[in-house]
Structure 1
Amino acid sequence: MSDKRWQLADLLRRDNRLMMGKLLVVVALMSGFGYALVPVYRAVCTALGINVLTLAEGTHAVRAEDVKNTQVDYSRSIEIEFDANARGPWDFKPATNHLTVHPGELTTVMYEFRNVQDRTMSAQAIPSYAPKQATSHFKKLECFCFNEYTLAPGEVKQWPVVFYVDPKLPRDVKTITLSYTFFEVTGKDVGKDAAKKQAAAPAQERKL
Structure 2
Amino acid sequence: MKSRENNSAVADYAKKINLQMLGKLLLIAVLMFGFGYALVPMYKKICEITGVNVLTPKDVTVDSTVNTQIDKSRTITVEFDANAQGPWRFRPTVSSVQVHPGEMAQVVYEVVNKQARSINAQAIPSYAPQQATEFFKKVECFCFKQQTLGPNEAKQMPVVFYIDPALPKNVKTITLSYTFFEVDGSAGKAS
The normalised TM-score by structure 1 is: 0.58
CA shift for structure 1 position 70:
6.2
* 1:193 paired residue number: 189
Alignment of 1:92-171 (within 5 A): 92-171=90-169
CA shift for structure 1 position 69:
7.3
Contact 2:120 2:185 in 1 (8 A): no
Alignment of 1:7-156 (within 5 A): 71-156=69-154
CA shift for structure 1 position 117:
1.0
* Unpaired stretches in structure 2, ≥5 consecutive residues: 1-65
Query: Partner letter of residue 127 of structure 1?
Result: P
CA shift for structure 1 position 166:
0.4
In the TM superposition, what whole-angstrom CA distance separates every residue of 1:165-197 from its partner, at most 9, and x where no partner exists? Answer: 0000000000000000000112322xx437xx4
CA shift for structure 1 position 152:
1.2
Please tell me whether Structure 1 or Structure 2 has the larger radius of gyration of its CA atoms.
2
Show structure 1 runs of 4+ deviating over 3 A: none
SS state of the match for residue 142, structure 2?
coil
Report the Cα distance in structure 2 between the residues aligned to 1:187 and 1:163, rounded to whole angstroms: 31
Q: CA RMSD in A?
A: 1.7
Q: Which has the higher helix share?
A: 1
How many residues are treated as equivalent by the alignment? 126
* Unpaired stretches in structure 1, ≥5 consecutive residues: 1-67, 198-208
Percent of paired sites with the same residue:
63
The normalised TM-score by structure 2 is: 0.63
